[in-house]
Structure 1
């Protein structure tokens, strides 16, 4: 994994998290721009996944493969599921769902960096 890309994902996910938390505090539903921001994070996650797969195929990393890919797959799935849920739920709870999903991405990025560096 490339540290600059991981940091970009981390920062973008924190932006989505803070934005969603502001909407929770204001008792507002998710808006389309927030979902587009989550889509940008998802795009960065896809780039990270492809690059990590290439590095793992080309070189040998001493990591627990099933654990690493479990985190990667979870990270890839959490935002699209949250976006679908937020799109269907038009109350403040859609903002809560997006905030929880963004927090999960932030946490899993931190955990992936730990696994990659171990």
Structure 2
């Protein structure tokens, strides 16, 4: 994988988590601008998914196995959108907490993706 992209995605996920945590602290549900933030993070993750698939297609292999790498890529791509959909059904502060938790999960998945690939980039 590309180290810089992994760092950007992880940092964006943590920023989204902090932002939604602040909204939850203020007793606010997710608002439109939170969904814009989720969209930005999701685009970054989809970019990472495409880069990962392209690198696999070129014959590069992760250190810990292709299957687990692809599973983590797909899980990372689903983390924030799933949390966003769940927050739509909970229009209280707990919707914001759900998105914050999903973003933290994404940040952890990014660390694991980095480890699975071997911790080296292009």
| CA distance, structure 2, for counterparts of residue 101 and residue 24 of structure 1 | 14
User: How much does 1:59 deviate?
Assistant: 2.5
Mapped partners of 2:64, 2:53: distance in 1: 13
Could you tell me which residue of structure 1 aligns to residue 109 of structure 2? Answer: 108
Residues paired across the two proteins, number: 118
Q: Which residue of 2 aligns with 1:59?
A: 59
Deviating 4+ runs (over 4 angstroms): none
SS of 1:27's partner is coil
C-alpha distance in 1 between matches for 2:65 and 2:78: 20
Instruction: Point out the structure with the larger helix share.
Output: 1
TM-score, normalised relative to structure 2? 0.90
Displacement of 1:63 in angstroms is: 3.2
Instruction: Look up the SS of the partner of 2:91 in the other structure.
Output: coil
Relative to the length of structure 1, the TM-score reads 0.93
5+ residue gaps, structure 2: none
1:60 to partner: Cα distance: 3.0
- Gaps of at least 5 residues in structure 1 are none
